[in-house]
Amino acid sequence: MRHSKFWTLMEEEFGKHYAHVLADQLVITPFQLTAREALGAGISTREVWEALCHQQDVPQERRLGRDIPPKP
C-alpha cells in the first residue's frame, strides 16, 4: 500500500483533520509507536493500517475504503 492510499483511507474513515491527529497521538499497541512514527520507522503502511483499524474497531467491510462505482 502506498503512503498516499494510507492517508486517503485514514481521511475517509476518520475525517480529514482527525485522521492526522490520530496518526500523531494514538499509540498503536503492537508497535508502541504512533502511526506516523511507525511509518517513519519503516513499518509497512498495510501493517500500520491494519493495526490501527483493529485498535479502533473499524469493521472489516470498511478497511479497504469506500466503494466508488466505476465510471460508465
Q: What pLDDT does 69 receive? A: 63
Mean pLDDT lowest for which of 4-8, 16-20, 48-52, 58-62?
A: 58-62
Q: Does the pLDDT at position 1 exceed 90?
A: no
15 φ/ψ angles, rounded to the nearest 5 degrees: 95, 150
Alpha-carbon dihedral of residues 41, 30, 26, 58, nearest 10 degrees?
A: 120
Domain boundaries, given as residue ranges, for the chain: 3-60
What pTM value is reported for the model?
Answer: 0.85
Q: What pLDDT does 66 receive? A: 72
Residue-wise pLDDT tens digits, 21-70: 999 999 999 999 999 999 999 999 999 999 999 999 998 888 887 766 66
Q: Does the pLDDT at position 5 exceed 80?
A: yes
